[in-house]
A = this chain, B = another copy of it.
Amino acid sequence: MKEPLFEVAQLAHVEIYTPNPDGTLWFFKELLGMEETQREGQSVYLRAYEDFYHHTLKVTEARQPGLGHVAWRTTSPQALERRVEVLKATGLGRGWIDGDHGHGPAFQFVTPDGHPMELLWEVEYWQAPPELATRLLNRPQKRPLRGVPVRRLDHVNLLTRNVTANKEFMMDALGFRLREHIVLDSGAEVGAWMSVSPLVHEVAFMGDRLGVGGRLHHICYWYGVPQHLSDIAEVFSEYGVAIEAGPGKHGISQAYFMYVLEPGGNRVELFGDAGYLIFDPDWKPVTWKEADLDKGIIWYGSPLPAEYFIYGTPDPRQEAAD
Instruction: Identify the A interface with B (CB < 8 A).
Output: 1, 3-4, 6, 9-11, 30-31, 50, 52, 73-79, 134-139, 142-143, 145-147, 151, 180, 197-200, 224-228, 230, 233-239, 243, 245-249, 251-254, 256, 273-274, 276-277, 279-281, 286-288, 292, 295-296, 299-303
**Interchain Cβ contacts under 8 Å between A and B, 16 examples:** A4-B75, A6-B6, A9-B279, A9-B280, A30-B145, A74-B281, A135-B237, A135-B292, A138-B253, A146-B146, A230-B249, A230-B300, A233-B300, A234-B249, A237-B300, A243-B301
CB distance from A260 to the nearest CB of B (A): 11
- The distance in angstroms between the C-alpha atoms of A235 and B135, with both chains bound, is 12
The answer to whether residues A138 and B180 also contact, given A228-B227, A249-B233 and a CB cut-off of 8 A, is: yes
Q: Which residue of B lies closest to A6 (CB)?
A: B6
- The distance in angstroms between the C-alpha atoms of A151 and B274, with both chains bound, is 12
CB distance from A214 to the nearest CB of B (A): 25
- The distance in angstroms between the C-alpha atoms of A248 and B233, with both chains bound, is 10
Contact with A4, one of B31, B76, B251, B281 (Cβ below 8 angstroms): B76
- The distance in angstroms between the C-alpha atoms of A226 and B228, with both chains bound, is 11
CB distance from A126 to the nearest CB of B (A): 12
* Residues A273 and B224 in contact, CB atoms below 8 Å apart: yes
Number of copies: 4
CB distance from A54 to the nearest CB of B (A): 13
Q: Which residue of B lies closest to A236 (CB)?
A: B300
* Residues A280 and B145 in contact, CB atoms below 8 Å apart: no
* Residues A31 and B138 in contact, CB atoms below 8 Å apart: no
- The distance in angstroms between the C-alpha atoms of A279 and B30, with both chains bound, is 26
Interfacial chain B residues near A245, Cβ < 8 Å = 302
